[in-house]
Amino acid sequence: MEARHCTEDPTAAYRALIADEPLPGRDELYAGETLSARRPQPRHCGGSVTDDQTTARLAVLGAGVMGVGIATLALGHGLGVLLVDVDAAKLDRAPIDVATQLRLAQLMGARSGEEPIGELATSTSVHDAAAATVVIEAITEVAELKSKVLVELSDVVRPGTPLVSNTSSIPIDELAESLARPGELVGTHFMNPPYLIETVEVIRGARTSEATMAAVTSLLAALDRKAVVVRDAPGFVTSRILHPMINDAVRVVQAGTATADAVDTLMQGCLGHRTGPLRTADLIGLDNLVDSLRVLHERTGDEGCLPCELLLAKVRRGHLGRKSGRGFYRYEEALP
């Protein structure tokens, strides 16, 4: 398996974009090749490769929208991040996406631009997360896949390492059932985009240990995030309330009662919703919303959580919201 190592600091790429300077091409970001007959090795950006297993690092599994967003948040606070995904193409894109998001965070006033940027490394192997001090799993919202990855991680990391499952709806106790050390698992629900939204829902499972809770709340404090701890349940608090409400808003549009813009304008102007439910849906990702609604419907039996046909049709057409450039609204470009 081929592994590529950055010979130049990608923080220069981040800073170039933040400063509106031309970004180097991908060939300039990555140069040099090494081969490994054993397993994929991490691609390190911004620092030398080290064998020191005591090196503090946050590992994030999943280079999708949420994984990259969480990585951006940590990097913007000076923390080193190992980003892991089986899709090498996503990892190739990650430094550019992080740079774009750091610039957006600066433009929105979420960072000054003077803070040091952490080191980013990428890998296609979970084995490279062995040295992590905290691991955040942020893969797709499918319980079976999350359970499988968490078991793999538990076998790799040192005992006592907190395992964080970032999920919008899947019960943490359900994910903990397959783990030999369930006390190490805790849930988070970062809102999208995590580098802008300052409050994080933290889900404590029935067997989550005090040490795990302390480590995760300490990490969130270091990221300048407000942790709100809730008990475990399908959808927890935010998704259990918000996602059925969005589903109802989509039904209103499906019935022809009002346009998406009219629904959002009324919810903003009359009820104080910051963006409106359908703009929020576009930001969440309509595919992610469907996955979450299905989890809620399967585990609660609430018919209000059954995804409505208009929502399903948009997902089938690839109209996934802000990240695809089109959902209930059209966007000039997709959000990284």
pLDDT tens digits, residue range 196-209?
Answer: 999 999 999 999 99
DSSP, res 1:
-
What dotted CATH number matches 2-231? 3.40.50.720
List strand residue ranges (DSSP E) for the chain, in order: 2-4, 33-35, 43-45, 58-61, 81-84, 120-123, 134-137, 163-166, 185-189, 199-204, 226-231
Give the residue numbers annotated as catalytic, written as ranges: 189
**Architecture of the domain whose range is 238-316:** Orthogonal Bundle (1.10)
DSSP, res 39:
S
**pLDDT given for residue 114 in this prediction:** 82
Domain ranges of the chain: 2-231, 238-316
Q: What is the pLDDT of residues 145-159, one digit of tens each?
A: 999 999 999 999 999
**pLDDT given for residue 185 in this prediction:** 99
* pTM, entire model: 0.82
**pLDDT given for residue 304 in this prediction:** 95
Q: What is the pLDDT of residues 122-144, one digit of tens each?
A: 999 999 999 999 999 999 999 99
